[in-house]
Amino acid sequence: MTKQTRTVDKMTPPDVRDHPTEPDSAGRPLHVTNSGIEKARIPAGMKILIIEDDARMADYVVRGLKEHGHVVDHAANGKDGLFLAAGERYDALIVDRMLPGVDGLTIVKMLRATGNQSPVIFLTTMGGIDDRVEGLNAGADDYLVKPFAFSELLARLGAVLRRPPISQTKTVLRVGDLEMDLLKRAVTRSGKAIDLQPQEFKLLEYLMRSEGRVVTRTMLLETVWDFHFDPQTSIVETHISRLRAKIDKGFGKELLKTLRGVGYTLRAE
Amino acid sequence: MLNSRIFRTISFQLTALFCLIFAACLVALLFTTYLTTYAALRTQMQTDVRSQLNMLAEEANSDGVDTIIQDIKERTASAKNSGFYFLGDSSGQKLAGNIDSVVPVDGWSEGTVGEAAMAKIEILPDEDHEIWGEGIHLSDGYFLYVGEDSYRLRAAQEAIVDSFLWSAALAFVLAVAAGYLASRGFLQRIDDINTTSLAIMDGKLKQRIPVRGTADEIDRLSANLNRLFESNQSLLESLKQVSSNIAHDLRSPLTRLRQGLEEAKARPASNASYSAAIDNAIAESDQLLATFAALLRIAQIESGSRKAGFKDVDLSGLFERVADAYQAVAEDQAKALEVSVPDSIHYFGDGELLLQMIVNLVENAIRHTAAGTRVSLSLSNSEAGPRATIVDNGPGIPAEQRGKVFEHFYRLDSSRTSAGNGLGLALVSAIATLHGIKLTLEDNCPGLRVVMAFPPQR
């Protein structure tokens, strides 16, 4: 059984789950301890604001983020949230869509209108495709549907916190001795050419751009395949294992690492 | 009971109303007749009286009073003549005629002649008889009066009034009777509808309103209500089915969850085994959440709200994306996924849902077949709209189960040991229905052929 956070529409907290599950080759769930979360390397000491009216959900997220060394402020309604977000500088905002007073969508629109560019992740029970598009159009950077795994939130937070500037002109990506030439669409490791299928190329490009960060299965499904629902078979696992066979097999040091129960990361050391 | 309610039925009230309107028209007609008849008779009487009076007056003026004394005597003596005459001198003394005295007033008078004037014995006791007539003063103080019995006129008047009353009474009786008769049948049929509705509300879902086959409006209403009851019954039955399936399908994972936790608590063990028990519990809750999520998604799709977001979708592109994503998965399981999709077939719909429909069907073909299976995916366009097929040469679905696989939680593997929540094809069916796609399962001999016939665009 696979997790299905993206297709949940109206689940409410406290359905927060700490572990996404990952099917093994037989498609059966496989669970591991939360050692994976420690490996999800999010820069510590970030200042994060969470605007969430559900006290249990907010407490859960605040505690989790504090454990990871972040400074966290919490606003229980839209008005306070907007006040805090406009007055202070935050590295990231986690905003619930449905809030008493000012709703999340309005908060983000108002912040963006005043030139505030802090990354925003929407938390929501509204998971329809239109809600998602609406949220992203309002200026949010990511969109997470409840119930979600905490590791998923951490991974996405990591992605928005270190999101590179949009005007990226780099044509060659490098992770250790792995090189990707975006113009020639060629990949080499230690100078040896590696032949990749188009989907493997897309997958590797995303992993290389997210170097050192954790990417979850859901993030890969959304960005590489544009699947905003949870398929029952292991598309991600299949393509990752094929990619791994091509870029890691026979090169000694493993670059593509699986963080059990969390996701994947590509890093050199 | 039934009788008293008849008077309150709409059909009775309508019938009665129409009868009353009819009666009112009749009264108006009779009243007009009365007035016209009365006026005509009166005029005729007046003309008659006046012509005699004038004739006698002229005779008196030209030939002298004595000639008309003779004339009046002749006239009163004649049995044929029904007139009344009086001729008096200036002192009011009667010279001739069959009336004893008359108040000497010129001009037309009705009933003013008085009792004293009643000369004809036979008409005296009858108060209906009145002498109407006209008098005139001749030269030398002589007074001449000619009158007639107004009985004819008054009898006609009475006859007309009588017929008024009789007609009105008859109309009223007819109104009540017709209303009663019309309502009795109507009320019976309304009662049928009422008793059937009450019975259905009472839980007797199989009851139906009797239909007479006359195709009148009550019959059509009954037939439509019967259809409503029919669809209600089938909806309720499928709801019952779904709820009992949900109860059944959620009980097993909940039971497993509970057993696992109980076991972990009962057996003092290492941190590692606790951690494994927790992971198992999380996995079971994930499965429950996933099942709920799928149910909610199906409900959301079935509500039709997503129709508002329909856009132009590159159908060919969707099929290619699915093929690209699943070819590697199929190969890893020693199966083949073949694709034959022409470019640029577009369709108006919800891209994400259509993608999920294709994904679910392809995953189904890959997951429920043995190694070595070939799955082929094809799309074509025709006058009748796009047509897609997903064909495999696996074990297929037995004909008698093909209709059931789209039901919630239905699984061919009744032991439910294989992965999946039994909602994949229910979701497919909901998406197809939303788009008006005709979904059929056929025997591929061997294997399964799923045909998606998209309706033609606009």
- Cα–Cα distance list, A216 to A70, A230, B281 (Å): 21, 13, 21
Residue of A4, A31, A147 lying closest to B283 (CB–CB) = A31
Structure confidence by residue, pLDDT tens digits, A51-70: 999 899 899 999 999 998 88
Please return the burial class of A144, using the count of CB atoms within 10 Å of its CB with bins 0-12, 13-18 and 19+: buried
Q: How far apart are alpha carbons A45 and A43 in whole angstroms?
A: 7
ipTM of the complex: 0.73
Average pLDDT across chain B, whole number: 83
Q: What local confidence, expressed as pLDDT, does residue B3 receive?
A: 64
Q: What is the CA radius of gyration of chain B?
A: 52
pTM: 0.63
Q: Are strands B107-110 and B374-380 parallel, antiparallel or unpaired?
A: unpaired
Tell me the pLDDT tens digit for each residue of A140-189: 998 888 888 888 898 898 888 876 554 456 788 889 899 999 889 999 99
Each of the 458 residues of chain B gets a pLDDT tens digit; together they read 556 777 777 777 777 788 778 878 887 888 888 888 888 888 988 898 899 888 888 888 888 888 888 888 888 777 677 788 888 888 878 888 877 777 777 888 776 554 444 444 444 445 666 778 888 888 778 888 888 877 777 788 888 888 888 887 887 788 778 878 877 878 888 888 999 999 988 888 888 888 888 878 888 899 999 999 998 888 888 788 778 877 877 888 888 889 888 888 887 778 888 888 888 888 888 888 888 888 888 888 888 778 888 889 999 999 999 999 999 999 999 999 999 999 889 999 988 899 999 999 999 899 888 888 999 999 998 888 899 999 998 888 888 877 777 877 776 665 444 556 778 888 899 999 999 999 998 888 888 999 999 998 76
Give, to the nearest 10 degrees, the angle between helix B217-266 and helix B271-302: 170
Q: Which of B280, B283, B356 lies closest to A229 in CB terms?
A: B356
- pLDDT for the residue numbered A5: 39
pLDDT at residue A7, as a whole number: 36
Torsion of CA B219, B225, B228, B233, to 10 degrees: -110
Please report the domains of chain A, with CATH numbers, ordered by start residue: 5-161 (3.40.50.2300), 172-266 (1.10.10.10)
H helices present in chain A, as ranges: 35-39, 55-67, 78-87, 104-113, 129-137, 150-161, 198-209, 217-220, 235-247
CA distances B143 to B46, B107, B137, B185, Å, are 19, 11, 4, 74
Residue A137 and residue A131: Cα distance in Å, rounded? Answer: 10
Write down all domains in chain B, each with its CATH number in brackets.
2-155 (3.30.450), 217-302 (1.10.287), 309-453 (3.30.565.10)
Provide DSSP, B269-303.
--HHHHHHHHHHHHHHHHHHHHHHHHHHHHHHHHT
Rounded to whole angstroms, how far apart are CA atoms A236 and A224? 9
Query: Residue A145 belongs to what H/E stretch?
Result: strand A142-145
Nearest to B335 by CA among B451, B452, B447: B447
Residue B348: strand pairing partners: B312
Supply the pLDDT for residue B321. 92
DSSP class per residue in B49-89:
HHHHHHHHHHHHHHH-HHHHHHHHHHHHH-SS---EEEEE-
**CA-based Rg of chain A, rounded to a whole angstrom?**
19
Helix/strand number for chain A, H first, E second = 9, 13
d(CA B325, nearest CA chain A) in Å: 7
Interface of A with B in 47-66 (CB under 8 A): none
In a mutational test of the B interface, the residue from A6, A10, A31 whose CB has the highest number of chain B CBs within 10 Å is A31
- CB nearest to A10's CB, from B283, B290, B296: B296
- Show the tokens assigned to B360: 């679910």
User: What gap in Å lies between CA B456 and CA B458, rounded to an integer?
Assistant: 6
Select the residue from B252, B278, B289, B413 to test the A interface by mutation, using most A Cβ atoms within 10 A: B289
Q: Is A232 close to B424, i.e. CB distance below 8 A? A: yes
Positive/negative CA dihedral, A154, A156, A159, A160: negative
Q: Is the dihedral of CA A225, A231, A237, A239 positive or negative?
A: negative
Distance CA A204, CA A184 (A): 15
Does A35 have pLDDT greater than 60?
no
